[in-house]
Structure 1
Amino acid sequence: MLARLSTLFVPAFVTVSTFVCLPAFAHVESVTLKDSTLIVDTNTYDFSVSAVADNSFAITLLTDENGEAYDNLPSMALVNQGEFSPTLEETSTEVSLSIGKSSVVIDKDSHALSYFYDGELRVAERNGLTASAEKVSLSLALDESEMLYGGGQRVLGMDRRGHTMPLYNKAHYGYTTSSNQMYFGLSAVMSSKHYSVLFDNTASGELDMGNTNPDELRFSAEGGRASYIVVLGESLKDTATSTVAVTGKQPLVPRWLFGNFASRFGYKSQQEVADVVSAFNAQDIPLDAVVLDLYWFGKDVKGHMGNLNWDKEAFPNPEKMISSLKQQDIKTVLITEPFILTTSSQWESAVANNALAQKDDGSPYTFDFYFGNTGLVDVFSDEGQQWFWQYYKKLAAQGVAGWWGDLGEPEVHPDDSIHLWHSKKINGQVLHNGYGHQWAKMVYSNLRELQPDTRPFVLMRSGFLGSQRFGMVPWTGDVSRSWGGLKPQVELALQMSVFGLAYTHSDLGGFAGGEAFDPELYTRWLQFGAFSPVFRPHAQDAIAPEPVFHDDPVKSIAREFIKLRYAMLPYNYSLAFENALHGTPLMRPLAFDYSQKTWFENAQSYMWGDALLVSVVTEPNQSSWDVKLPEGVWFDFFSDTRFEGGNVVQYPLQDNTFPVWVKAGSFMPMSEELARTEDYNPAELTVHYWADNSVSHASYTLYEDDGVSPDSVKYGLYTAMTFTAEHAEQLRLHIDSAGSYMGMPQRRKLTMVVHGQDTRPTQVQVNGASSGFTWDEKGKTLSLAISCDYQQSVEIKIM
């Protein structure tokens, strides 16, 4: 840690002059602290350093290379968290701003910034943050040992160090095992040294992660905001959740998000929708939503985009269709795109209302792309938003429950197109990576106002840092329907999740191509989907993505895993609560909890919550699947076979088995026989616990609310049910509840299932009284039924 020669008491507003005490070569001329922001006046670039959260700083240039005031765009990445009270210190050689356990130290001679956590240097500027009229760049130093996540959706391996990648969201149709540029890039890096750097700039640019210079991390952009954010943490997991605290936590999603979606490209008529739903019902496969692709507004793929209204020949009574689905507790989700074709029925309206991106002369900017000649909605301008929103509002009144925003990179976005944002004319090149983010913000914010008692569902494939705070549910785009397409899906989801985009998922089964149906590929992808944020098979309709249109054993295996997903609803929904409360991902890298040296680069396995380790089968015709397990004791989720970690396990494979392990000491609440998520009854739960002598203490929290209120987290309208286990000479389980919500049941029926017991217990006590129980000798499991008040504490002793 650099020496501290003096400590200054700093009131809310103070200026510290350095003209007198600094030698003539000093470059920092004065610093001014106001509230949580330090203004640094130098003889080159002036800049500000703001404490934006505990252990987090935002650095923003105030002047350019010519000393002129730099016209910064508003931040898209940062969420306003209020004011903080950092501590300012100064010596003859440096200025330091501290918050939490972290400090940013400014060298007075070079005005280079270094970042410390608990006295330990984590990262420092190399050439720093610079800006001109044409370019913004940021240069930081890398040491030779650190590994890096970052860049968002790419297929490059988990450690992205040594790569250079474009910062420009762009579709990659039919990708497989390699992709350097995809739908949802992130101008962000997270290091194994427990810091993250967020380049708060939406312009077209580049991210060089030690490729050109092995010891340099470099961001660059073609203009735009000159600002970056550094987040420091105690661990990799702490750094991830602290990063999400800075960019904004995801609002609690609707519970139905964890159901099964019927989706394809696409349902062509009202009758086809009814037939698909009838097939799911008749074949006993749970279903919660139907997703309508572009045929809802036109009979052909080309020529109709921008109609933003029902094709009444194919969908003669959409209100009746939506109402019928709603009566079956099935939600309707519609696709929309931001392109308004010149052949569409809304073209003249869009032009008349100044809703489109423009040319320099103010006329609509038109161009050709796959779907026809088109303009692009200006989602940044007030006029564009008002015009676009009117169609969402009409559809919402008809009962549409979910919104799918497609092509939002935008798929085609001329660099010289003009958007009007905050009364400024800004070209498409500068705003490109923020387009999907702004679109999601428009949809989410207006829905919250229009439907204040509803949680919006916003499915989109492109955005920016912080897009999660607008409820965005991203997917990984038009992946190849092949084993090569399946292989990178864990990597893609994990790279997004650590930066807050925790609901990133894939088109299950694959979307693009595929000349013939591959039953094994389809089965393995859907098995993976059961342990993914969203279960949504989706594909071009030459091969049906829905399991109801396939034969056994494919259909029966798919049914089994879909029902398992529904049974896991209370566990999965608690993961959503953890995400909304703390920013914790649902899918988690093993490096979060185990040795980074061993697990940082691993994308074969991941944790689904704290309890489950999932390893995706990504090769065909395998009789077994080699999986390295972390240290500790693990149980096969399906057979309860016990494994010692720290070894490679050969998991025996059959069509209906899948490599999933439960960490010893884990609790898992489950609910049986659900056909819809609406059927969930929190008053009746089965709670599994995997006991092992190696785990002396374990705990788990189950979160519950009404499943629909958008303010459950904000106002604390939920219950937190805590399960703990103490394993010494005997096993003791404790259940405690806190909190309440409207409609909460008064009593609860619990079935406790304890796995991992070697022999039949001699006695079980519940709150001191002897209790009956059931013992399964073959499975070595104990089952115990308990009826109690909803918030009654329960103690179980197993002897």
Structure 2
Amino acid sequence: MIKIHISTGRKMMMRLFGLSFILLVFTATSSEYQSHELNGQVLHIQTDDGQLSITALADDSFEVFYQPKDIKQLPSFAIDGVAKQTELTISDEASRLTLSAPGIRAQIDKSPLRIRYFRGDKLLLAEHQGFYFDANKRGFSFDLQENEKLLGGGERILGMDRRGQRFPLYNKAHYGYTTESNQMYFGLSAVMSSNKYVLIFDNSARGEMDLGAINSDEMRFEAIGGRTSYIVVAGKTYPELIENFVTVTGKQPLPPRWALGSFASRFGYRSEQEVRDTVKKYQESGFPLDALVLDLYWFGADIKGHMGNLSWDEKTFPTPVKMISDLRKEGVKTVVITEPFILSSSKNWQDAVTHNALVKNPEGNPYQFDFYFGNTGLVDVFDNDARDWFNQTYTTLYKQGVAGWWGDLGEPEVHPADALHNLNGMSATGDEVHNAYGHKWAEQVYQHQVSLAPNARPFIMMRSGFVGSQRYGMIPWTGDVSRSWDGLKPQVELSLQMGLLGLGYTHSDLGGFAGGEVFDPQMYIRWLQYGIFQPVFRPHAQDNIAPEPVFHQGKTKDILRTYVELRYAMMPYNYSLAFENSLTGMPLMRPMFFENEDDVSLIDVKDQYFWGDALLVKPITQANQKEVSITLPKGAWFNFWSDERYEGGKNITLPTDIKLLPVLARGGAIIPMTLPVLSTDDYSTKSLDLHYYADKSALHSTSVMYNDDGKNPHSIRDQAFETLTFNAARQEDESKPDSLVFKLTRTGEFKGMPGSRMVSLWIHNWPQDINQVLVGDKQLPQIKDKTAFLNANRGTRWDSETNTLEVKFGWSGDTSIQVF
């Protein structure tokens, strides 16, 4: 017994010694203040170790840039352009400086130099050791407060609250992942705190993030090189915090409206005939389709040996320009994959070498290495000449009619640590810039596409990037997920985490990508049902089992056709979510804790979410589930399919049916919809269905619908859009019969906007027949017969079985509907 105790004690001492060693290695530089100068929006502080600059990027954001002597610095990748104008004040006391902006305050102790950040009187964040570095690593450490929860780090499967975790900052593929992963395709070196700040480590290099794993009350960011700066963003509420974050890092440009439609995608279409047959199958099956995505077979008949050709394989795609044109006439846009690897066996190898397009080895020659697809080089997307060379491919394909770009393997999947990149004359290793590679590639594609087609919106799908990649229109997906129930389970967590930090279009390969030798129709249906309520509807998988719903039979096909039609019917609502995202950064998928910001326990909810503000979605992620438990926020909630009412503020249990994904509408919600079409080419809002979920728990309701031509890249900048606002006010006097005033107002305009609309207002949960309905001062006729009502252009009808009142009328200007 004694020996066992001694052995255990020695192990404990060794562990403690190891921990102490780690802490000693990264002891902070104890900088001492010497002087300061405020120059515009930048506070320059001279210390005995070098200069420190604090820049007010906006009213609520500071960039903090430590510049010790003789330390190589890389540019910022997270910040979007120049700082926004704000007002600063500074006070100088014997022991500290205080820099104040309207929404954030930095308190800087002079000896030793440490910074704390406040919003009002509330302490948000404090440096612990502050900045530290040695010969191998550099980073920052901060105090964590009691009960503070942390989200962030990008794509990881660790639970919503990442406090207590330590994980790599190195974008890396995780093929066939399921329910656990601490390192994936798209990491983000940033966290969002329950104390309502965002902290960004603006460093592209290989590193680690420690959120209280080694020391429970300390957060650390560290890297092997890169930029020694961080950014603090504050906000009063989570939505405001997100808006302040994208004000600094960049707002997502509006995608083309077709990006919200239905995609056909697989690994992969092997011939032009297969592409044409797939589109024909969609048409014959009555499934809407807006885009078809071509994987790597478009430039080579085999998986290996052809990457880098980046031109059509003439044997399998003999008439690609005609194919693209024919698809476009059917409303289907063509998206093609490109990768940044140029194989030495490809047609473009020598041209890439001649034009200095590839990263260099330490001897200054093109760096060649082997990976799964063959012997290769890597395009240096940081180098302007290399970008120009790479852009020739995009120019040619665009002129051939390609409508969108899919950038794959952009971590990069293989990236030699000592590869040399050229950053405007500065040399940087692969390890120093690794995490910004996909970011710079997206920037290149976006800027080039804008120059090619200044009057069109780019579509750019990529699986890796950096903080701020959303400003280049990036649409990420969650990588090569397992085709299994366990692959489906973490998808909500992944999309929510990314959306909180700007990447609001993060979505999954619907149905799962990797493996799966036997088709599981139940899992497939459940995944695609969830996909209707995620940002991009794109089934994609290895083609041993068809990923497209049109190639399945019977109940599977019929159920999913109804859901895809619903996706198109909801386009007015979904497109308004896209508009809101571009205006404010608000993600399309929203976490439960937005509902009650004082209840930090809601941060942990990872299996249900809000789709916009009106709908609550609970994906089914296990087989043969007979019922499901849903946490309802306060207020009234209605089953989206049956209108059954539930009282909120508690957990409820709903029976499940393979035909019905659990979706609930908020009491008081107003959801605009329209007639489904087979392509967004035919989309119109001349006919609108407004679904209002009337409830006395929500006496006043407002909903905003945004609309434009779906194409103009400057519609927000130029105010070339219309805003439709719907307001509902219920009678508050319990002694009187139910009454309602519903107002419709419209502002703004754009070329081609509808001059008038036919509106069907569906008032759900209306408990009684009505005496009269006035549109303006004109009474609508009551039509009891259902068939006669369906054929009428105006009138009212109350359905006693569903307690739904339907009101039909024409709308050409501000209108008020009164229901008595």
Asked if these proteins are the same fold (TM beyond 0.5), I'd say yes
Cα distance in 1 between the residues matched to 2:427 and 2:94: 44
Q: Is the 8 A contact 2:566 2:676 kept in 1?
A: no
Q: Tell me the equivalent position of 2:817.
A: 796
Cα distance in 2 between the residues matched to 1:488 and 1:761: 47
Give matches, 1:156-555, under 5 Å.
156-555=158-557
Shift of 1:321: 0.1
Is residue 2:802 matched to residue 1:782?
no
| Correspondence for 1:567 among 569, 573, 578 | 569
Q: Tell me the equivalent position of 2:578.
A: 576
Q: Tell me the equivalent position of 2:619.
A: 616
Shift of 1:695: 0.6
Cα distance in 1 between the residues matched to 2:452 and 2:809: 43
Shift of 1:45: 4.2
Cα distance in 2 between the residues matched to 1:760 and 1:91: 72
Secondary structure of the residue aligned to 1:495 is: helix
Q: Which blocks of at least 5 consecutive residues in structure 1 are unaligned?
A: 1-24
Q: Deviations over 1:275-296 (max 9, x none)?
A: 0000000010100000000000
Structure-2-length-normalised TM-score: 0.93
Secondary structure of the residue aligned to 2:445 is: helix
Shift of 1:743: 1.2
Cα distance in 2 between the residues matched to 1:762 and 1:108: 75
Q: Is the 8 A contact 2:208 2:222 kept in 1?
A: yes
Q: Tell me the equivalent position of 1:659.
A: 662
1:652 maps to amino acid: P
Give RMSD over aligned pairs.
1.2
Give matches, 1:2-151, under 5 Å.
27-62=32-67, 64=68, 68-80=69-81, 81-132=83-134, 134-151=136-153
Q: Is the 8 A contact 1:163 1:209 kept in 2?
A: yes
Shift of 1:26: 10
Cα distance in 2 between the residues matched to 1:656 and 1:607: 20
Q: Which blocks of at least 5 consecutive residues in structure 2 are unaligned?
A: 1-29, 733-738, 782-795
| Correspondence for 1:605 among 580, 603, 608 | 608
Shift of 1:490: 0.2
Cα distance in 2 between the residues matched to 1:749 and 1:100: 46
Cα distance in 1 between the residues matched to 2:516 and 2:674: 36
Shift of 1:771: 1.8
Q: Deviations over 1:428-456 (max 9, x none)?
A: 00000000000000000010011001100
| Correspondence for 1:768 among 753, 777, 797 | 777
Cα distance in 2 between the residues matched to 1:371 and 1:101: 51
Shift of 1:626: 1.2
Cα distance in 2 between the residues matched to 1:687 and 1:252: 24
Cα distance in 1 between the residues matched to 2:656 and 2:441: 44
Cα distance in 1 between the residues matched to 2:465 and 2:448: 18
Could you tell which deviates more after superposition, 677-686 or 287-296? Answer: 677-686
Could you tell which deviates more after superposition, 70-79 or 304-313? Answer: 70-79
Q: Is the 8 A contact 1:155 1:488 kept in 2?
A: yes
Q: Is the 8 A contact 1:130 1:226 kept in 2?
A: no
Cα distance in 2 between the residues matched to 1:514 and 1:174: 10
1:673 maps to amino acid: P
Cα distance in 1 between the residues matched to 2:388 and 2:709: 32
Is residue 2:740 matched to residue 1:731?
yes
2:464 maps to amino acid: S
Cα distance in 1 between the residues matched to 2:584 and 2:160: 24
Shift of 1:170: 0.2
Q: Tell me the equivalent position of 2:703.
A: 700
Q: Is the 8 A contact 1:751 1:784 kept in 2?
A: yes
Cα distance in 2 between the residues matched to 1:26 and 1:404: 47
| Correspondence for 1:711 among 707, 711, 714 | 714
Q: Is the 8 A contact 1:491 1:603 kept in 2?
A: yes
Q: Is the 8 A contact 2:87 2:102 kept in 1?
A: no
Could you tell which deviates more after superposition, 560-569 or 646-655? Answer: 646-655
Structure-1-length-normalised TM-score: 0.95
Q: Tell me the equivalent position of 1:14.
A: none
1:606 maps to amino acid: Y
1:28 maps to amino acid: Y
Shift of 1:494: 0.4
Q: Tell me the equivalent position of 2:688.
A: 685
Shift of 1:82: 3.8
Shift of 1:133: 5.4
2:770 maps to amino acid: P
Cα distance in 2 between the residues matched to 1:118 and 1:769: 53
Shift of 1:69: 4.9
Q: Deviations over 1:675-730 (max 9, x none)?
A: 11121112211111111001121111100001000000111110111111112242
Q: Deviations over 1:167-193 (max 9, x none)?
A: 000000000000010000000011111
Shift of 1:97: 1.2
Q: Is the 8 A contact 1:751 1:786 kept in 2?
A: yes
Q: Is the 8 A contact 2:31 2:49 kept in 1?
A: no
Q: Which runs of 4+ in 1 moved over 6 A?
A: none
Secondary structure of the residue aligned to 1:112 is: strand
Shift of 1:130: 3.0
Cα distance in 2 between the residues matched to 1:240 and 1:637: 29
Shift of 1:134: 3.6
Cα distance in 1 between the residues matched to 2:564 and 2:202: 40
